[in-house]
Amino acid sequence: MKVLLSREAVHTGNLILVNREYGYREHGCRQHECWQQASKMPAPGEGAAGFCRNLCLKEPAAGALKRLMSEIHGWDRIVPVSAWRSQEEQQEIWDQSMEENGREFTEKYVAVPGHSEHQTGLAIDLGRRQEQIDFIRPDFPYEGICQRFRELSGSWGFVERYPADKEHITGIGHEPWHFRYVGLPHAAVMAREGLVLEEYIAFLKDYEYGSSFYGVKLGRGEARISYIRARGDVTELELPAAYPCELSGDNVEGFIFTEWRHFNGE
């Protein structure tokens, strides 16, 4: 099966790398209505009123969060603090934080407008439900229900995006509350290999599509992951038609190809 990938497509998909170096460039649908509310996310309590609006995620992140939260009855004790943000909202948050907290704090915890994962609709900040919730740095400890969420999040395609020991790579301070959807099997591989998204994309470049792949067994199947470098304006690709597969841009220079091979119990 022949597939043509435009250069623009590099900037779309669940695995796009958005950080200080690479801005969010996805065009196309940015309409609020086209995004899904992650399962009637409850409004935060009184102390947190005033900032909870437009709490939306893109599919399939919204559906995955919904199912994970229902499995652990998470919304009883966890509140969604911030999800999708427009460029304008990110700018407002940046400006306000610069004014209130100064440059050093802001650069550590707030992404430069245009470079926030929140603009992708694939990231969410979560906080422990309590009276006072810090909008920029919500409390999301490594214990109790928050830790339970964290431990299961990888099975639903989420990663804790800014760990403490990777600040020099992500360029963002330790954020125990910020989760990013990358989907499966990628969240599982990143956890297994101990990689943040910057490292994971670099790691996959060693598995060039057509000549090698990174294989991972999940449930009753195996996922094979490989990397395709974009060539010119249109990348032409011959895909195997036998198995379900997915493509995502990396927002830099290529695509991640994932093929699912399911065992049929034989």
CB of 30 to Zn ion, least distance (A): 19
Q: How far apart are CA 242 and CA 202, in angstroms?
A: 28
3-state SS class at 245: strand
Of 150 and 178, CB closest to Zn ion? 178
Cis previous bond, 42, omega within 30: no
Binding of residue 160 to Zn ion (CB under 5 A)? no
Taking CB under 5 A as the binding criterion, the range among 47-55, 57-65, 85-93, 175-183 that sits at the site for Zn ion is 175-183
Of 110 and 189, CB closest to Zn ion? 110
CB of 159 to Zn ion, least distance (A): 13
CB of 178 to Zn ion, least distance (A): 4
CB of 94 to Zn ion, least distance (A): 13
Q: How far apart are CA 136 and CA 126, in angstroms?
A: 10
> Which residues are tagged catalytic?
175
CB of 173 to Zn ion, least distance (A): 11
Of 140 and 213, CB closest to Zn ion? 140
Instruction: Compute the chain's Rg from CA coordinates.
Output: 19
CA 42 to chain centre: 21
Tokens of 204: 């996959």
Return the half-sphere exposure (C-beta side, CA atoms, 13 A cut-off) of residue 227: 18
Return the half-sphere exposure (C-beta side, CA atoms, 13 A cut-off) of residue 102: 2
Question: In the chain, what are the helix, strand and coil shares in percent, each to the nearest 5?
Answer: 35, 25, 40
Tokens of 171: 């360029």
3-state SS class at 226: strand
Of 178 and 186, CB closest to Zn ion? 178
Of 175 and 259, CB closest to Zn ion? 175
Subset of 97-126 contacting Zn ion (CB under 5 A):
125
Site string for Zn ion, 177-216 (x = CB under 5 A): -x--------------------------------------
Site string for Zn ion, 4-23 (x = CB under 5 A): --------------------
- The residues of the shown chain that bind Zn ion, judged by CB under 5 A, are 125, 178
